[in-house]
Structure 1
């Protein structure tokens, strides 16, 4: 794909979303955001209760783009080497052989990441950030595309190691899938009675990589860039926040907005693209102050306040 993103990009995006939705009924928005995370070369955090389809989402996404996937169940005794791999001594050859960990897959489901120790969490998050691992002085690149879908129990669940803000900031988006509506749940019952739906690939790895590269060619006007910076700066002045947005948030929101524009069949970003992504891209990066939280202010409320008060640029 050598031309700027156009309807062909949007068509490919829609085909992935439709295909993944076969396995995750009634959750179109969550599926769209997961696909956008993949195409924006980011990572996705899902904060939700067990059983709402997180594994189905990861498996269906990997199957739809014909790439490898691994699931890592995080537990308190999981070691960093269980995630990234280990060098083992080969007696016959009298040398070390590297045994790659499950991180060496295109799509990795890091299930219940907040049940692992901070040391193991850090090993995963560093690999996510650097897109490579170094063991015994040897650096090994992770495959491309590379998407980590991490799941986290709601904070009120006991026995967990909550991710600190500095590590939450490494996820492009945070979403919640939520329970299905009545009609979707009836459809799930009917589908499960006939076995798991078979997901066939609609695109290949090379096409996904081309789509990722094409997003960088989506145009962003100076007025939109200034709008992004104004949103981030407004968070730092918000009276209800103990911690505002970092410069990383500006970069990530720009990347996601370009992906959204391409998915909508345009080669330029509009304010609507930015505003549609403010909650999933920004809400997990801020910290609500204790007084404001006691009055009922949530991170999503604060982001909505900021979006409503910062002037929206006209045009594109």
Structure 2
């Protein structure tokens, strides 16, 4: 009898605990966003969900995959589901920093220089094929991605919130690409690798393409969230509970990357914060106001895979960063 009462009290406590933050509106909006994108995109569930998590966690995302796997289209469709400003920048080898940030132009009438803003001034910025531009152009993104401001002629210009960068790139083995600097990679919350579709998915892609006569009609996508709602949900995510032992778990995972014999370069504290924020967002879209070890494990690979550098020996052995992250997650004891 005593055990029965104890179980009833535990269930009541869990019910009360789960209602601490109302996450149903957030979940409903996430479902709507997926449905809107699903009007055109087949599959890519992991990419879409991680992109949504990155928006809620207020982080930038790098999307990598071979040409033709709908990286750019998916990012554009997600932006269409948000009622915010959107700009797209196609990176090319001859692109200059001023083509992104803007430049000061002399006004003959006023006898003064006027700053003309570049396409980076938007809420959602899609940078297509980011690794097609050289290091000089890449460096133009350092300040704006980290601090959400740019400095031109000693004047600071703040970006209007929300400000998020989605960047696509082809694998480094593809011809005509440049390696992204580690400092820039560290500014991305996630790196998501997009793989080829399955056979069934490819059949569905062909069927849908045939039905719409090879035309993409973006006008069918209905906006789901506006800027103020995005900011409200980003604030809500910060209230998700994280127990102290889980904070220690995150720190242990990242600390292991700095002392790992397979790695030449480990992750920075920015990676620890990224895992924490992403895990909170993942918990929220699952309808929980508390983080579990599974939330951390789910997000850790996307946070770490672009921040770690293998030792030359491991590279020669065709080892992968993903495998190292898997080994680390298997090694670190999961909190109970």
Q: The residue matched to 1:167 in structure 2 has which SS? A: helix
Supply the distance in 2 between the matched residues of 1:210 and 1:71 (Cα, whole angstroms): 25
Larger relative contact order (CA 8 Å, sep ≥ 6): 1
The offset of 1:93, in angstroms, is: 3.0
- Secondary structure class of the residue paired with 2:208: helix
Match of 1:122 in 2: 139
Q: Give the match for residue 240 of structure 1.
A: 262
CA distance in 2, matches of 1:265, 1:91: 58
Distance 1:41 1:125 in 2: 16
Go from structure 1 to structure 2 and tell me whether the alpha carbon gap of 1:168 and 1:252 turns closer, same or farther (over 3 Å shift): same
CA RMSD of aligned residues (A): 1.6
| Aligned 8 A contact 1:68 1:106 in 2 | yes
2:243 aligned partner: 221
Aligned to 2:181: 164
Q: Is the 8 A contact 1:23 1:56 kept in 2?
A: no
Provide Cα deviations, 1:54-74, integer angstroms capped at 9, x if missing partner.
221121111101112111111
TM-score scaled by length of structure 2:
0.88
Question: For this pair of structures, how many residues does the alignment match?
Answer: 312
Which of 285, 293, 301 does residue 279 from structure 1 map onto?
Answer: 301
Task: Please say if residues 10 and 264 of structure 1, whose CA atoms lie closer than 8 Å, have aligned partners that are also in contact.
Answer: yes
State how far apart, in whole Å, the 2-side matches of 1:103 and 1:7 are: 33
Residue 5 (structure 1) shift: 5.3
Task: Say whether the 8 Å CA contact 2:305–2:322 is kept in structure 1.
Answer: yes
Give the whole-Å Cα distance in 1 for the aligned partners of 2:65 and 2:305. Answer: 15
Match of 2:233 among 198, 211, 224: 211
Match of 1:266 in 2: 288
**SS of equivalent to 1:285:** coil
Greater shift in the superposed pair: 86-95 or 269-278: 86-95
Segment drifting more, 156-165 vs 98-107? 156-165
2:117 to 93, 100, 111: 100
SS in 2 for 1:98: strand
The answer as to whether partners of 1:232 and 1:250 remain within 8 angstroms in 2 is: yes
Match of 2:5 in 1: none
Matched, 1:304 2:326: yes
Contact 1:7 1:266 in 2 (8 A): no
Helix, strand or coil: the match of 2:48?
Answer: helix
Shift of 1:191: 3.1
Cα distance in structure 2, aligned partners of 1:59 and 1:114: 18
Structure 1 residue 271: deviation in Å?
0.3
1:192 equivalent in structure 2: 209
**How far apart are the structure 1 equivalents of 2:111 and 2:56?**
43
For the pair 1:89 / 2:112, whether they are aligned, the reply is: no
State how far apart, in whole Å, the 2-side matches of 1:225 and 1:284 are: 22
2:32 is the alignment partner of 1:15: yes
Partner of 1:45: 62
Q: Which residue of 2 aligns with 1:76?
A: 93
